Amino acid sequence: MDSDFREKPADGGALRGKVVLISGGASGIGRATALLFAREGASVGIADTNRASGRAVAAEINASGGLAIFEPCDAARADDCKRAVDRTVREFSGLHVLFNNAGIIRRGSVVELAEEDWTRVMDVNLKSMFLLSRFAIPAMMKSGGGSIIHMGSGWGLAGGPRAAVYCASKGAVVQLTRAMAIDHGPQNIRVNCLCPGDTDTPLLQGEARQLGESRVHFFANAAKRPLGRIGTPEEIARAALYLAQDASSFVTGTMLVIDGGGLA
């Protein structure tokens, strides 16, 4: 579905006039969301540690008639987060949507994990949301409000084997979403959380390698859910689009599960 953006150039759709910042926007769900949001008329800031891929996504959007910039960013570092927000606001004159999508996974029990693994996962998966939101909210207030979308997980709502720190980080994201929705609703800022099931991304492929399983075997097990398959990045991106646009104007503090029935 990568060609979808090229086949349907930006025509001023559901996000016309909106400015969006996406962390982890260089690959997987972040990339799919950047392409979709641009097609729907948004100006897109892409923040990621992967410079080559991030620049490539921005170039693809710009070459197809959209507007995008790339800013190198380790979302666990305050200076990087501030720079990404500031540049997006400066380039596009405002900020309306923040998609806190950056994330990593380290598989293991608390006995198996190194302290460094625990710290890094919590920093990227949780602290990054605090940092980017901290800098983005004042800009959103100046723009009249906005939508913050946190990337959660089905494992933020239910536990999983050998995934202690990942489950802990995503469970915290769920509660952060609720608390922020309460705090910032009066400023017309909605805060919601996506909770995907297994999705065909580099992150999922990395899990297979960490567990020493073949991609084919790992993905086959991941597909054991009512719909009989794993998700695609584009399917998660469409859920993010719903939370970003005015169609969800009365939705805040919620967890939107997109998992093919896995939690059912």
Q: Would the CA dihedral through 161, 162, 164, 167 be positive or negative?
A: negative
Annotated active-site residue in 37, 92, 166, 218: 166
Owner of token pair 């990227």: 124
* 242 a catalytic residue: no
In sequence order, what DSSP letters do the residues of the chain get, joined into one string? -TTHHHHS---S-TTTT-EEEEETTTSHHHHHHHHHHHHTT-EEEEEES-HHHHHHHHHHHHHTT-EEEEEE--TTSHHHHHHHHHHHHHHHT---EEEE-------B-TTTS-HHHHHHHHIIIIIHHHHHHHHHHHHHHHTT-EEEEEE--GGGTS--TTBHHHHHHHHHHHHHHHHHHHHHGGGTEEEEEEEE-SBSSHHHHHHHHHTT--HHHHHHHHT-STTSS-B-HHHHHHHHHHHHSGGGTT--S-EEEESTTTT-
Give the tokens for residue 33: 């969301």
Active site residues: 166
